[in-house]
Structure 1
Amino acid sequence: MKFFIFFIFFCSPLFAQVDYPKDYFSPPLDVPMQLSGNFGELRPNHFHAGFDLKTLQKEGLKVYAVADGYISRIKISTFGNGKAIYITHPNGYTSVYGHLRSTDGVIENYIKKSHYALKSFEIELFPKPDELIVKKGQVIAFSGNTGGSEGPHLHFEIRDTKTEKIINPMFFGFDKNIKDTKKPLLSSVYVYPLDTKTSVNHSKRPLLLNLSLQKNGTYLSEKVVANGKIGFGITAFDYDDVSFNKNGVFKIQSFYNGKSNFGYQFDTYSFDEMRYVNVLIDYSKYKKIQQRVQKLFMKNKFGLSIIKADENNGIISVVPNLTSVYRIEVSDFFGNKSTVSIPIQYDLLSTIIDQEPVVSNYFVRANKDSNFTKDNMSVFFPAGTFYDDFDMNFDVKNDTLFLHDDTVPAHTNFTISIEDNKYTEAQREKIFIGLVQDKKTTYNATYRKDTVFSTKVKTLGKYTLVMDTTAPKISIAKPIEGKWLSDQKTIQLTINDEVSGIKSYNGYLNGNWILFEYDNKTKRLIHNFSDGIISEGANDLKVEVIDNVGNSTIFETRFFRSQKK
């Protein structure tokens, strides 16, 4: 019976397939589909949630509803997906369109009215099912570069409406719009000694393995000679025939002596799982040299649902009298595959390269609460903050908390507290806890109880109290005081705050609140005269900007405009 269960486990398909509708959705753009980013691609602190579709390196392309439905959510933000709309479809799925420049017709009017009703540029709306009904192929928006976008493109997702899990759009038939005959590129393979006793090829540190291309198109690694627990990691990328972008791979599967031992396939996952990218990769190496090595083992099991592993979580125990072969297969959605075989042999080799020296004064256990205090500063790590145990540096010098460094990833928030005994009460109103990186200080939302400042963060590093008494700056490229602006379509201002950052901005025309759209990348505020708030003749403009500790700046001017044609 045990053999029968074992046989079923290893002979059944490793990744179950769902029968997604293949011809229900149409493409959201009418230009050839080219990807600048694909589903599951490794990004800072998250996996990519959909497709990034190229828009001919420009904004303003028509964006179409991929199927009948209704707009169920609208989110306008200066970060993330920028201007985004969500369409709920009757088949149980929701499509998402991000980084939009603007929306179309009735949708745009609905959004504009909401901006003015809420008196805010950043809004989140949830229209009722009968408010904004759309049809398949209807123009709903125009592509842009808003939010966290680094260039013009359309971000496109498909989600399960009920669970809100994101799903690889390839499963819905979009693969027929993309030609891909190229194998993924398996660019490097690393072997990891996983305990202090193990050495690999004379080393107690991770090693890059030499690969040689075989006549059959597969790769053969140099032999791994080890004497304990080891694991492997790879860097791999995928290319298609038309996009020429370095994208993420769809599926990775490893085998030990012919049996599946670890793998994952980017088909569907939840947003709660996004941050597990930091434990899936060799985070320390990424932070040091910007290389994302995808690990094929788990030292401690974590909750990334796409992973399928054996009882050893992908870890190999190299024992005497057994010569083994480890095989890695990297595949794209179209079935193109790259393979590397790694011979493994047991031997007690002398250690030439020892472990990296660790200078630390504390030890953190990932599964237990930890609290560290020195002088007037403390840090509290709830159980589960980190993925693995680690040796930690903790010190306080010159009013600065030295909290290890950002080579160890945190999964959840931890709390830093600093007690102040030198500032006045008035000064404390302008103080926050800042993260110091490369001589720059990043603001963290800080709360205070009497003389104790606290913040919740997810990044190890240097922290200190920062006072910000400098007001934000507001500037205009060309002064408009006393001038006629009848031929202009917009008013544009630039705002900036160099210390704590901008918290809010509001504009008023003749005493009435007006919409200023804010582009965080350019720090630019833009008001469009087509909103219809302008008066004939003289107009008084007032703009107020407030930073995160309450410093404010007011810009006022008077200009003239004629509406007559």
Structure 2
Amino acid sequence: MKLPFLLIFLSAFSFVQSQEYPKDYFQSPLNIPLFASGSFGELRGNHFHSGLDFKTQQKEGLSVFAVADGYVSRIKISEGGYGKAIYITHSNGYTSVYGHLKKFNGAIADFVRKRQYAQKSYEVEIFPLSGELSVKKGEVIAFSGNTGSSGGPHLHFEIRDSKTEQTINPMLFGFDIKMPDTKAPVINDLVAYAIGDSSVVNSSQRTIPINLSLQSDGSYLANKVLAKGNVGFGVNTYDLSDNNFNWNGIYKAETFLNGSRIFKYEFDKFAFDETRYINNFIDYYRYKTIKQSVQKLFFKRNYPFSLVSGNKKNGQILVLPNTTYNYRIEISDFHGNKRTVNVPVQYSDAAATIPRVEKKTPYFVKSRNDNNYTKDNISVFIPENAFYEDFYMNFEVKDNVLFLHDQTVPVHNNLTVTFDVSGIPNLNRDKTFISRMDGNKPEYFTTYKKGNLFSIRTKDLGKFVLMTDTVAPKIYRPNFAEGANLDQADSLSIHISDELSGIKEYNAYLNGKWVLADYDYKTKSLTHFFSEAVYEEGKNELKVVVSDKMGNSTIFETHFFKTKKQSSVEKTN
């Protein structure tokens, strides 16, 4: 009797495992065919893409639907990031996220507007209770847009685990069925690495490209690799899909040595506090120097990133004498379309004619230890695990300027940079901050001041200087002439900018009352919509006050006329 029971239990367990993610619970958030301009896990600057970017036919204002019953558990409006975003918690344990929205709809819009006026702020973050904003599956919750750090109109969509807040590939919930795909990924480049002091690949100790040839069956064959010692490989690859010309990220990579798998990762889910590990996942130096994104198919030492930490092997190949190896790479999309690369590897005792380049300095950073460096009036504290690998760091101070290596080495955790300003005469302390120079462009950092010590926390290397900002922001180019009649206009807008420390705060007032103004940093514009119905019939006095991060302020005042009061229908539309 025990055996049948065990079989039933195992069958039930297998069924539960295969049904981990519901395939038909969520509907589409758009009522148009779904095409992705960005895939889950796609490589982005300092992070993996945490959802799917759905195209919106190159326009804004499409209806965005709740993908299932639930309640709005979070609303966030920010200048960058997701811009205007809605989070809906569902009873099945998941939360759906909708980002870069143009505007909210119905009760959600009213709820947000009241909070913005209460806080007198465009940027708000709200956490409604479960009974405050319930939504039904298929309900229009918002309209698609281009707000926040968006490069064009689209809908950013995510599904998260409500408890752990891990983000999960929406394809696992049946969105793959809504987005058919028969095209296999494409391999642009194959790169080989000599790992370790005595390793050599094709007579080189430096990273070296390997030529590929496309075979008649669609696979790639690499030129023979002659090597010794530990070597690894990386690929520059992208995925295509039907009726879509975007180059998106891949879903899965696997490598095999003589038929046995030695490395694998697949983009199913990850935690947001892991996302910066992308800088160790890719060849960061290559990305920074030649703008090529190469995904490494190995790691030099373990690091706590869930996508790769499940590998019992590190993906490296130890090439020994009198041995030939067949190394195979398989790159797949979510639909199972696969591209294979076969790489013949053979031992060679040839010496390296292209040696590894390593400039030794007096400052050797042991990445697993705390490090503290001081010169003249400037110090740098580096906590353990701020870097992924040990390296020789450039550290120089000259004329109150810190030269801290360069941007080719990734930083995972914050460093602390401190300037002692006691020896700097006539310093305007209130208006001075520490800046990193990106070429000739200064980058503002929040500067903590304690006596003569000015400090910042940063995840960037480069050139750091003290900068003083006494110049107020600019307010310019309103979309109407002073005294104009704006009966036919649905909004008014004005541009604001600050060239040094950046804008901290902006406020608009009509006839002495604070009014809501949407800020778009990409166009440097503040926009007030007359549908807010705050204006008065006749003459209206407009006042805009803008302050930068060093406390410099500018006031702009003008007036306009508006004699037509909007109807309730116009307000709704």
What is the match of residue 5 of structure 2?
none
What is the match of residue 33 of structure 2?
32
Whole-Å separation in 1 of the counterparts to 2:487 and 2:215: 71
Map 1:14-53 → 2, pairs under 5 A: 19-53=20-54
What is the match of residue 232 of structure 2?
231
What is the match of residue 355 of structure 1?
356
Q: Which runs of 5+ in 2 are unaligned?
A: 1-13, 567-573
Report if aligned partners of 1:260, 1:310 keep a CA contact under 8 Å in 2.
no
Matched, 1:368 2:354: no
Q: Report the RMSD for the aligned CA atoms in angstroms.
A: 1.6
How far residue 479 of structure 1 moved from its aligned partner, in angstroms, is: 5.4
Map 1:56-455 → 2, pairs under 5 A: 56-307=57-308, 310-358=311-359, 360-421=361-422, 427-455=428-456
Whole-Å separation in 2 of the counterparts to 1:425 and 1:134: 60
How far residue 202 of structure 1 moved from its aligned partner, in angstroms, is: 0.7
Q: Any idea what SS the aligned residue of 1:504 has?
A: strand
Report if aligned partners of 2:191, 2:210 keep a CA contact under 8 Å in 1.
yes
Whole-Å separation in 2 of the counterparts to 1:553 and 1:356: 52
How far residue 128 of structure 1 moved from its aligned partner, in angstroms, is: 1.0
Whole-Å separation in 1 of the counterparts to 2:486 and 2:387: 57
Whole-Å separation in 1 of the counterparts to 2:193 and 2:341: 17
Superposed CA deviations along residues 61-94 of structure 1, whole A, max 9, x for unmatched, are 0111111111111000110100000111111111
* Gap change, CA 1:392 and 1:28, over 3 Å in 2: same
Report if aligned partners of 1:403, 1:462 keep a CA contact under 8 Å in 2.
yes
What code does the residue aligned with 1:340 have? V
Report if aligned partners of 2:479, 2:492 keep a CA contact under 8 Å in 1.
no
What is the match of residue 4 of structure 1?
none
* Gap change, CA 1:325 and 1:525, over 3 Å in 2: same
* Gap change, CA 1:267 and 1:17, over 3 Å in 2: farther
What code does the residue aligned with 1:37 have? G
Whole-Å separation in 1 of the counterparts to 2:265 and 2:451: 49
Report if aligned partners of 1:396, 1:402 keep a CA contact under 8 Å in 2.
yes
Whole-Å separation in 1 of the counterparts to 2:196 and 2:203: 14
How far residue 561 of structure 1 moved from its aligned partner, in angstroms, is: 2.4
* Gap change, CA 1:446 and 1:308, over 3 Å in 2: closer
Report if aligned partners of 1:435, 1:441 keep a CA contact under 8 Å in 2.
yes
How far residue 546 of structure 1 moved from its aligned partner, in angstroms, is: 0.7
Report if aligned partners of 2:544, 2:557 keep a CA contact under 8 Å in 1.
yes
Whole-Å separation in 2 of the counterparts to 1:310 and 1:155: 31
How far residue 517 of structure 1 moved from its aligned partner, in angstroms, is: 0.6
Whole-Å separation in 2 of the counterparts to 1:536 and 1:520: 31
Q: Any idea what SS the aligned residue of 2:107 has?
A: helix
* Gap change, CA 1:18 and 1:456, over 3 Å in 2: farther
Report if aligned partners of 2:479, 2:493 keep a CA contact under 8 Å in 1.
no
How far residue 419 of structure 1 moved from its aligned partner, in angstroms, is: 1.3
Point out the more displaced range, 107-116 or 220-229: 220-229
Normalised by the length of structure 2, the TM-score is 0.93
Whole-Å separation in 1 of the counterparts to 2:360 and 2:109: 57
Q: Any idea what SS the aligned residue of 2:499 has?
A: coil
Report if aligned partners of 2:302, 2:309 keep a CA contact under 8 Å in 1.
no
What code does the residue aligned with 1:147 have? G
Map 1:526-545 → 2, pairs under 5 A: 526-545=527-546
What code does the residue aligned with 1:172 have? F
Superposed CA deviations along residues 313-362 of structure 1, whole A, max 9, x for unmatched, are 11221112322111111011111111111122222102211112425331
How far residue 560 of structure 1 moved from its aligned partner, in angstroms, is: 2.7
Whole-Å separation in 2 of the counterparts to 1:357 and 1:130: 61
How far residue 18 of structure 1 moved from its aligned partner, in angstroms, is: 6.0
Whole-Å separation in 1 of the counterparts to 2:313 and 2:223: 24
Whole-Å separation in 2 of the counterparts to 1:564 and 1:60: 25
What is the match of residue 494 of structure 2?
493
What code does the residue aligned with 2:264 have? G
What code does the residue aligned with 1:560 have? F
What code does the residue aligned with 1:326 have? Y
* Gap change, CA 1:17 and 1:45, over 3 Å in 2: farther
Point out the more displaced range, 318-327 or 41-50: 318-327
What is the match of residue 473 of structure 2?
472
How far residue 121 of structure 1 moved from its aligned partner, in angstroms, is: 0.4
Matched, 1:552 2:553: yes
Point out the more displaced range, 531-540 or 142-151: 531-540
Whole-Å separation in 1 of the counterparts to 2:71 and 2:334: 30
Normalised by the length of structure 1, the TM-score is 0.95
Whole-Å separation in 2 of the counterparts to 1:310 and 1:501: 45
Q: Size of the alignment, in residue pairs? A: 551
What code does the residue aligned with 1:192 have? Y
How far residue 426 of structure 1 moved from its aligned partner, in angstroms, is: 7.0
What code does the residue aligned with 2:561 have? F
Q: Which runs of 5+ in 1 are unaligned?
A: 1-12
Whole-Å separation in 1 of the counterparts to 2:456 and 2:486: 46
How far residue 564 of structure 1 moved from its aligned partner, in angstroms, is: 5.0
Whole-Å separation in 2 of the counterparts to 1:524 and 1:540: 19
What is the match of residue 11 of structure 2?
none
Report if aligned partners of 1:432, 1:443 keep a CA contact under 8 Å in 2.
yes
Point out the more displaced range, 401-410 or 342-351: 342-351
